[in-house]
């Protein structure tokens, strides 16, 4: 509990409220069941001695009968008082504490669910990555067009070389092959970026959404156990898992994703440079 409070300061007040209401409930529950036990014992003793009391009341000894009758009245009055007191304790206090504790559980569950949803929005925010993917798609189209425009010229080089002896055929072909390799590198890196994107924003995100929905649905299906804190523990574990995934996987993969994007930008520059060199050759 202490670690939980430190780890989730936003939820601290909700946890404190829940813990206080739980302790109150346990205390009231203890008093209620102790009183109930006493009442039951009194009732048992009264039943065991009922014939004995009747015997004394019906006996010719008026003094003994009067004393026993007085004792029975006091005994019965005490029994009824405790019984009424305990019923009042149950109806007015114990039930209220149960409802209050149940309400605090539901409130904390809602807060945890809200916190998880907010964390999911932050952890799986794909806007920046989507923008980078779009830029890479545009770069791919741009570089594909460049390579496609150069390809027919490669077929003309031999003919041009026969006319213009100064044309360096090998230099041209080297630049051309470099661009073809660069283009393939872009394709490979975009493919890797797509894999990372799908893994994070589709597969991993859906996995956590499914788990969250499963926890909430299971909680709704067991409404008869409203005092059960299993759902809270499951949500806390899910919250912890998302934070760990964010640190250990998502951040690392996004760094790799961004690295691929930067590589593609550099490759584009190299393709442009090669294109200029090729034009000089031609």
Which of 75, 104, 123 terminates a domain? The answer is: 123
231 and 131 inside one domain: yes
Which of 105, 123, 141 terminates a domain? The answer is: 123
103 and 196 inside one domain: no
What is residue 228's predicted lDDT score, i.e. its pLDDT? 74
Domain of 28? Answer: 1-123
Cβ-based neighbours of 2, under 8 Å, separated by 6 or more: none
144 and 276 inside one domain: yes
50 and 151 inside one domain: no
Give the residue-averaged pLDDT of 76-85.
70
Q: What is the DSSP letter of 55?
A: H
Q: Is 45 within 8 Å of 125 (Cβ atoms)?
A: no
116 and 130 inside one domain: no
pLDDT band at 151 (very low <50, low <70, confident <90, very high): confident
Whole-prediction pTM value? 0.72
What's the CA gap between 243 and 137, in Å, rounded? 31
Q: Is 154 within 8 Å of 170 (Cβ atoms)?
A: no
pLDDT band at 186 (very low <50, low <70, confident <90, very high): very high
What's the CA gap between 30 and 40, in Å, rounded? 15
Give the residue-averaged pLDDT of 257-280.
92
Domain total of the chain: 2
Highest mean predicted confidence (pLDDT) among 12-21, 92-101, 243-252, 256-265: 256-265
Which of 123, 156, 182 terminates a domain? The answer is: 123
Q: Is 209 within 8 Å of 242 (Cβ atoms)?
A: no
The mean pLDDT of the chain is: 80
What is residue 104's predicted lDDT score, i.e. its pLDDT? 84
pLDDT band at 267 (very low <50, low <70, confident <90, very high): very high
Q: Is 90 within 8 Å of 214 (Cβ atoms)?
A: no
32 vs 256 pLDDT, higher one: 256
102 and 175 inside one domain: no
pLDDT at 120 over 90: yes
pLDDT at 90 over 80: no
What's the CA gap between 132 and 128, in Å, rounded? 6
Give the residue-averaged pLDDT of 87-107.
79
134 and 219 inside one domain: yes
Give the residue-averaged pLDDT of 103-110.
88
């Amino acid at each position: 509990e202490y670690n939980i409070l430190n780890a989730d300061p936003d939820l601290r007040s909700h946890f404190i409220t829940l813990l206080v209401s739980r302790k109150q409930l346990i205390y009231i529950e203890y008093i209620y069941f102790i009183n109930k036990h006493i009442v039951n014992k009194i009732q048992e003793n009264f039943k065991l001695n009922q014939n004995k009391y009747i015997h004394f009341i019906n006996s010719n000894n008026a003094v003994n009968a009067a004393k026993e009758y007085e004792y029975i009245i006091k005994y019965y009055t005490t029994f009824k008082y405790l019984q009424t007191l305990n019923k009042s304790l149950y109806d007015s206090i114990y039930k209220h504490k149960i409802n209050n504790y149940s309400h605090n559980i539901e409130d904390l569950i809602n807060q945890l669910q809200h916190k998880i949803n907010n964390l999911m929005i932050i952890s799986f925010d794909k806007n920046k990555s989507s923008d980078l993917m779009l830029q890479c798609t545009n770069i791919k189209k741009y570089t594909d067009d460049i390579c496609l425009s150069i390809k027919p010229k490669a077929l003309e080089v031999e003919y041009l070389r026969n006319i213009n002896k100064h044309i360096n055929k090998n230099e041209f072909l080297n630049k051309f092959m470099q661009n073809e390799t660069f283009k393939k590198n872009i394709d490979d890196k975009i493919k890797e970026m797509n894999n990372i994107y799908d893994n994070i924003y589709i597969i991993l995100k859906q996995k956590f959404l499914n788990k969250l929905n499963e926890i909430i649905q299971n909680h709704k299906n067991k409404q008869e156990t409203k005092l059960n804190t299993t759902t809270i523990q499951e949500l806390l574990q899910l919250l912890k898992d998302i934070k760990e995934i964010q640190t250990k996987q998502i951040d690392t993969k996004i760094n790799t994703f961004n690295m691929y994007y930067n590589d593609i930008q550099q490759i584009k520059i190299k393709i442009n440079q090669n294109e200029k060199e090729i034009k000089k050759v031609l």
